[in-house]
Amino acid sequence: MNDTFLKACRGEKTDFTPIWIMRQAGRYLPEYQKVRGKVDFLTLCKTPELAAEVTIQPIDILKVDAAILFSDILIPVEAMGMPLEFHEKKGPVLAPAIRDENTVKKLSVPDPEDKMRFVMDTIRILRKELADRVPLIGFSGAPFTTATYMIEGGTSKTFLNTKRMIFQSPELYSALMDKITSTITEYLKAQINAGAQAVQLFDTWGGIFSPQDFKAYALSYVKKIIHDIRKWQKAEKSEPVPIIYFVGETAGLLEEIKESGADVHGVDWRINLDDAIRRLGNNAVVQGNLDPIALFLPQNKIEERVKDILSRAASAKGHIFNLGHGVVPETQPDNVIALVEMVHRHSKR
């Protein structure tokens, strides 16, 4: 098996730098559009055979070194009891938004094998179909990023309702976060049980906080999840599964992120990778950090940036190449294919 990705996560020496791409299964691929043309997004997430099919597409097309489960961070929110819809223009809509004690009380902590069985079934199919070609990454939203969608009722620019709840009703926020944190912990354990070989927590909106607030209102819950998963794995005597923690707008928060307990830290493009490594400590294993829009450059310019990132990563204990955030739908697939080839070629040791 190509286990280069897992080795890099553990900080072991590898023959080349592994690469996968956030949102690698998605609308920029005509092959994805073809499947998606037949069903809506949520149906795609909930049909294990189809979700497995689009998960594998980028492995065949791009030759990336890891597969990431096709699903969405809002699936567990629906399982907690909030009706979820995806609108073509508006994106996700969750209604009614969580704003008071009553709505928090109504939320449940679901049994993942019951309410999200389709996710575990997708993982089980994928492990069979991948047949150890590349490792499979499971994922969840981190509690804070998940909470923003629940409190705002969808995507937001200012996160005013979320911050207002945190500052004006801290007990309500804490009660909500306890439920979300338990849900995500159980959800990730179930994914690992079903066969996920690494898991990533997405904290896309962590960067809206001051470092102090990030620590209190986002990071503390992530630390709890990671601690509980490790404790559970120790008790089960199972091999530890690498945990990746990705925070958007990473640069102002590295000293806090460093304390997460994750094996790998995602870094976005707003900071040089060597700078981020210095601040995370030289034992850090990092993932990143090409600007997704740099894929719109001519290929020779993409190549310069690949070489630059690879050389800046030299001081880390491990490096997994990725974008600093998800690939956007307008991206040319040929440039993504070229990126993967360049990373492999220039990092060969």
Active site residues: 23, 27, 36, 72, 149
Site size toward ligand CP3, by CB under 6 A? 20
Token duo for residue 224: 């709890």
DSSP codes joined into one string, 163-201 = HHHHHH-HHHHHHHHHHHHHHHHHHHHHHHHHT-SEEEE
Binding characters for ligand CP3, 308-327, by CB under 6 A (x = yes): ------------------x-
- The contact mask relative to ligand CP3 for 94-133 (x = CB under 6 A, - = no) is ----------------------------------------
Beta-bridge partner residues of 321:
19, 288
The Cα 146–Cα 142 span in angstroms is: 6
CB of 329 to ligand CP3, least distance (A): 7
Site for ligand CP3 in 326-345 (CB under 6 A): 326
Q: Give the per-residue contact string, 50-79, with ligand CP3 (x = CB under 6 A; - = no).
A: ------------------x-x-xxx-----
Cβ contact 143:109 at 8 Å: no
| Binding status of residue 204 toward ligand CP3 by CB under 6 A | yes
Contact 207, 248 (CB under 8 A): yes
Beta carbon nearer to ligand CP3, 82 or 312? 82
Tell me the DSSP string of 197-249. Answer: SEEEEEETTGGGS-HHHHIIIIIHHHHHHHHHHHHHHHHHTPPPPPEEEEESS
Told to check if 270 binds ligand CP3 by CB under 6 A, we report: no
DSSP 22: T
Select from 25-33, 96-104, 286-294, 333-341 the region that touches ligand CP3 (CB under 6 A).
25-33
Q: Is 138 in the site for ligand CP3 (CB under 6 A)?
A: no
> Which H helix or E strand runs over 146?
helix 143-152
C-beta of 30 vs 281, nearer to ligand CP3:
30
Contact residues: ligand CP3, CB under 6 A: 22-27, 36, 41, 68, 70, 72-74, 91-92, 139, 155, 202, 204, 326
